[in-house]
Amino acid sequence: MLEANRHPNITIMSLAEIKEITGYIGNFEVKVQKNPRYVYEETCTGCGQCTDVCPIYIPNYFDENFSARKCIDIAFAQAVPAIYDLDKEWCVECYACVDSCDVHCIDLSQEPEIVELEVGTIIIATGWDLYQGDEYGYGKYENVVTQIQLERILSPNGPTLGHLKRPSDGKRPKNILFINCVGSRNEEHPWCSNVCCLLSVKNSKLIKSEYPDANIVVSYIDMRCAGKMYEEYYKRSREAGIMYINGKVGKLIEDPKTKNLVASMESIGTGGIVEFEADLVVLSSASLPSAGTDEIAQVLKLEKSPSGFLKEFHPRLDPIETKSPGIYICGSCQGQKAIDATVNHARGAAQAASIPMNKGEFVIELIRADPIDERCAKCYMCIETCPYSAISVNEAGQIEVDLISCRGCGMCAATCPSIAIELRYYRDYQFNAVIDSLFEA
């Protein structure tokens, strides 16, 4: 991230939203709204004096709200750009930070500003969000955490400085239960989240190697450890003494005194009901499309898969391009991916975008929709039908086809009641001639 920020050809705009995109491959015009951070990026030296004087403590989003941060603070230790930001929602406007800043870079009156950019290609990498449903008492029972929260607890710069402590009383949990497939592979979210099996293997193995007396149970439906060296990793974790039980936890009840959690699950391997009293329960929650995916899809006129992730041009043969030329997707915005697949996808997207950029020209086929104004009754049904939003009305009220956005599917030609829009080389009279000659004999 730091390297990208230092690169002369890369500009990172944090706290920004895409508001509008017009144009086509090679000539996109993008309007970006830069939301105020109330700190001038150019002059902030990152000295941290403002954080020292700020009297307001707020939940630390980066630590999954397990710790506190100041209202004006750096997002997290490795944040890029390493500039402080102020959370206006919690700020009491005491101006202590403004007074403390030696370089006068804090300005509480900053407004969102619109930046206009001209770009040739666009790569979308908006990632994913974690499912926050209330299965297994998540949000109600203190000692039920998600994998991401456990990651923060185990992190050396996390809220507990890497020491495994459970949220309710800060004691080290001895019996730990991992539950896989929470909120995924069901009716609502039918997809497999891809990474959680290995996340369970990794975190359970990490805890076991640090605390060999820990008693760890992983409850799973299927262990999906496909990929190079992953199955071996899983096998080694079994050998390390972590118990894997094939069966989904049916019931999880909290003991109100000890805050321990009693789980009952059916073990398919051995038969019968297994009961396990856990000090800490870790949920492998489903991964969902990130919160802004709907807006991105709307602004860029992209399609979404039934799961809500962005839709690629072809799920197997072209998972990088989208139906709009010049717009590429990479990483988990297309579907949940592990790190290796994300790196591959990102490199692929960068390569795919650099090809037309370096060539400087983009070749389109001639099979494109061809409007015929004399026949057009201006019903505009073609505009609604076009899946690529390539058809528009010009100032004179005539139908216009954007030849670059058009992909030559011919849906407009099939819809038009007065044959006023046709597909080049696949015109009605050409089809009629084919049909007539086929049935002549």
Backbone torsions φ then ψ of 383, nearest 5 degrees = -65, -40
Residue 386 Cβ vs other proteins, minimum distance, rounded to whole Å: 10
Q: Does 408 bind other proteins (CB under 8 A)?
A: yes
Based on the shown chain and the rule CB under 8 A, indicate whether residue 438 belongs to the binding site for other proteins: yes
Is residue 409 close enough to count as binding other proteins by CB under 8 A?
yes
Please identify, using beta-carbon distances, which residue of 379 and 414 lies nearer to other proteins: 414
Report the alpha-carbon distance of residue 423 to residue 425 in Å, rounded. 6
C-beta separation of 240 from 216 below 8 A = no
Q: Please report how close the Cβ of residue 416 comes to other proteins at its closest, in angstroms.
A: 8
Q: Residue 285 CB, nearest distance to other proteins (Å)?
A: 37
CB atoms within 10 A of CB 62: 19
Contact between 428 and other proteins per CB under 8 A: yes
Shortest distance, CB of residue 399 to other proteins, whole angstroms? 17
* Residue range at the interface with other proteins (CB under 8 A); choices 35-43, 301-309, 335-343, 426-434: 426-434
Stretch of 194-202, 233-241, 398-406, 425-433 lying at the interface with other proteins (CB under 8 A): 425-433
Q: From the centroid of its chain, how far is CA 253?
A: 32
Whether the CB-CB separation of 138 and 146 falls below 8 Å is answered with: yes
* Least distance between other proteins and beta carbon 407 (Å): 8
Binding status of residue 410 toward other proteins by CB under 8 A: yes
Peptide bond into 36 cis (omega under 30): no
Strand duo 261-266 + 249-254: pairing: antiparallel
Residue 97 vs 399, nearer CB to other proteins: 399
The strand pairing partners of 129, in sequence order, are 288
Q: Which is nearer to other proteins, 157 or 432 (CB)?
A: 432
Q: How far is the CB of 401 from other proteins (least distance, A)?
A: 15
Residue 406 sits in the site that holds other proteins (CB under 8 A):
no
State the Cα angle at 104 between 103 and 106, rounded to 5°.
125
Question: Tokens in use for 384?
Answer: 């609604």
For residues 52 and 55, give the distance between their C-alpha atoms in angstroms, rounded to a whole number.
8
Task: Report the nearest approach of other proteins to the CB of residue 358 (Å).
Answer: 29
If one asks whether residue 325 binds other proteins (CB under 8 A), the answer comes out as no
Q: Which of residues 355-384 bind other proteins (CB under 8 A)?
A: 367
- Binding segment for other proteins among 48-56, 169-177, 237-245, 413-421 (CB under 8 A)? 413-421
390 contributes a contact to other proteins by CB under 8 A = no
Binding to other proteins (CB under 8 A) within 237-266 occurs at none
Contact flag: residue 434 with other proteins (CB under 8 A): yes
Taking CB under 8 A as the rule, does residue 58 contact other proteins? no
- Residue 421's closest CA among 400, 440, 403, 393? 400
Residue closer to other proteins (CB basis): 396 or 441: 441
- Could you say whether residue 389 binds other proteins (CB under 8 A)? no
Q: How far is the CB of 428 from other proteins (least distance, A)?
A: 7
Question: Quick count: other Cβ atoms within 10 Å of Cβ 182?
Answer: 25
Interface with other proteins, residue 411, by CB under 8 A: yes
- What residues from 17 to 56 belong to the interface with other proteins (CB under 8 A)? none
Is residue 316 near other proteins by the rule CB under 8 A?
A: no
- Closer residue to other proteins (CB): 56 or 406: 406
Report how far residue 327's alpha carbon sits from residue 405's, in angstroms, rounded to the nearest whole number.
11
Mark 416-437 as b/e (b = at least 16 C-beta within 10 Å).
Answer: beeebbbbeeeeeeeeeeeeee
Binding mask 194-213 for other proteins (x = CB under 8 A): --------------------
Contact region for other proteins (CB under 8 A) — 216-224, 296-304, 314-322, 411-419? 411-419
Residue (333 or 413) nearer to other proteins, CB: 413
* Per-residue CA distances from 428 to 54, 316, 369, 413, 419 (Å): 72, 33, 12, 9, 8
Q: Does residue 414 bind other proteins (CB under 8 A)?
A: yes
Q: Is 289 in the site for other proteins (CB under 8 A)?
A: no
Positions touching other proteins (CB under 8 A) are 367, 387, 408-411, 413-415, 423, 426, 428, 431-432, 434-436, 438-439
